[in-house]
Amino acid sequence: MADAFIQHPGEDQSNDLRRRVTQTEPLTLKTFTPSLALLERSAGSYHYTPEGRKLADFSSGVLVANLGHNPRSWWRRVIDYLGIGHLQDAGEYVHAAPLTAYNAVTPLEVQANERLLANIRGEPGGSRMEQVLWAASGSEAIQKALWAAMAQDSKRNIIVATRGGFHGKKGLAGAITGSETDKERDPRVRFISFPKFECADVELRRQAIDLELYQQELDKLSSEIGDEICCLVTEPYLGGGGSYHPQPEYLQLLQQFCRDNNALFILDEIQSNFGRTGPMYAFTHYGVEPDMVCLGKGLGNGVPVSACVGPAAVFEVLQYGEGSDTWSANPLSSAAVLATLDEFESNDVIVRGKQLSPIIEEGLVALKTTGVIENVRGEGCVWGIECAGIGSLEPEEAANDCVEACYRGDAQGRAIHLLGPLAGRVLRVSPPLTMPEDELREYLEVMRGIFANLRLQTR
């Protein structure tokens, strides 16, 4: 219960709202984050608290606001797509796109299908993508991909998943998350090893990976149950599992395993899509051609939407209604996807994101000098910093103290919004792809100052 009463000095309005939210929502709705920031308004790469404090957003929501928060041109496009630009006109109702069109079709939905497919097929590795099975959250997109994969052949019902991955908490997405030891095992799921020590730090990742052990594990699986496997699911990198970005050869090995065993290769790009790792989709620079790709988070830049994309022949085994639900392909989400695609296709977002990457790397590697950070790993605009213990503090406590110290800010009131640690001690650093370079440099330096100060204070 202690966590339910997070309060911070000098924040009367925020503290009041924190108190009221704990009365009106079960705490399980949030993952513990010691700041429990009150975000009243947001613009670009910044959040503002009810007290008017400015927080640089190093989380992008949770890798959602790749374009930044509330870009004016993006909102204009959403409004135009929905046809609600004339809200101030007289009349009780506005003639606009419906907000719900269950079991009907909207022109927006068709346009979103065609535009998303053209975008993904236009990228190296996207050629298998023919249809979009929409959903409303990441775990639902995974669930739908697995339903399709499992329905291909009744003799193949084994799902291979990479150990330590995060695919969501609900249903089959939950069953393939984590490992065989941390949950009651779903007999249909077999976990395989994902590289960690080989990419525990950005320097290590630059070295060649020895795939021998991984190959042996896969060979054993092939010979034991190769003809029972319907699919293999992995993230390009372990995101929620602690930010482990493997050498591309590892994903290529998994793809070969799938091809050899006639299993579908499903890539969970819910976190990595729309420029997070550099290119539009991670499959491009990991050099793979997945059979199905799951998208989410940045896909709608804040409007809840996700999708499973893949070959028509794979989806056709699902009958009318098996993949339907209230919100999938709703017009607001279609408009958001279209507006987000417009921004990526007509602006230099990808180029800007790629330019931020070395700045983030340099700034994060510099944090090691504070003694607070042990390892740095990541790519593009998605990074993880692994905390060391500070003085008598265990790494887990130190990581939480870092989040809180960043929230409180430096002597000049410059503060940073971070999420609670991943895998106990890894802090995610993932600013919007559009954060101005000088501001990013400044806030990385602010972070270094805050960590150095924390180190001095904690003995």
Ligand X SMILES: Cc1ncc(COP(=O)(O)O)c(C=O)c1O
Residue closer to ligand X, measured from CB, 225 or 303: 303
Residue closer to ligand X, measured from CB, 15 or 271: 271
CB of 168 to ligand X, least distance (A): 3
Residue 255 Cα distances to 221, 234, 248, 262, 267, angstroms: 14, 10, 11, 10, 10
CB of 269 to ligand X, least distance (A): 8
The closest alpha carbon to 345, from 123, 63, 53, belongs to 123
Q: HEC profile for 179-246?
A: CCCCCCCCCCEEEECCCCHHHCCHHHHCCCCCCHHHHHHHHHHHHHHHHHEEEEEECCCECCCCCECC
CB of 165 to ligand X, least distance (A): 7
CB of 5 to ligand X, least distance (A): 26
Residue closer to ligand X, measured from CB, 240 or 421: 240
Angle at alpha carbon of residue 19, lines to 14 and 22, rounded to 5°: 120
Residue 246 Cα distances to 162, 272, 404, angstroms: 12, 14, 30
CB of 237 to ligand X, least distance (A): 9
CB of 351 to ligand X, least distance (A): 25
CB of 105 to ligand X, least distance (A): 25
Residue closer to ligand X, measured from CB, 268 or 401: 268
Angle at alpha carbon of residue 379, lines to 373 and 383, rounded to 5°: 35
φ/ψ of 96, rounded to 5, equals -150, 175
Beta bridge partners of 293: 267, 309
Beta bridge partners of 42: 47
Residue closer to ligand X, measured from CB, 277 or 434: 277
Residue closer to ligand X, measured from CB, 178 or 226: 178
CB of 391 to ligand X, least distance (A): 32
What residues make contact with ligand X under the rule CB under 6 A? Answer: 62, 137-139, 142, 166-168, 235, 239-240, 268, 270-271, 296
| DSSP designation for 22 | H
| DSSP designation for 419 | P
Residue closer to ligand X, measured from CB, 166 or 451: 166
CB of 203 to ligand X, least distance (A): 25
- Cα–Cα distance, 337 to 301 (Å, whole number): 8
Q: Give start and end residues of each alpha helix (H) in 83-170.
A: 107-121, 138-150
- Cα–Cα distance, 164 to 177 (Å, whole number): 7
54-57 sheet: strands from edge to edge: 41-43, 46-48, 54-57, 415-417
- Do residues 173 and 204 touch, judged by C-beta distance below 8 A? no
The closest alpha carbon to 358, from 341, 376, 333, 375, belongs to 376
Ranked by CB distance to ligand X, the top (closest) residue is: 138
Q: Is 450 helix (H, G, I), strand (E, B) or coil?
A: helix
Residue closer to ligand X, measured from CB, 173 or 339: 173
Residue closer to ligand X, measured from CB, 263 or 308: 308
Residue closer to ligand X, measured from CB, 370 or 430: 430
CB of 215 to ligand X, least distance (A): 25
Copy the structure tokens of residue 377: 């790993």
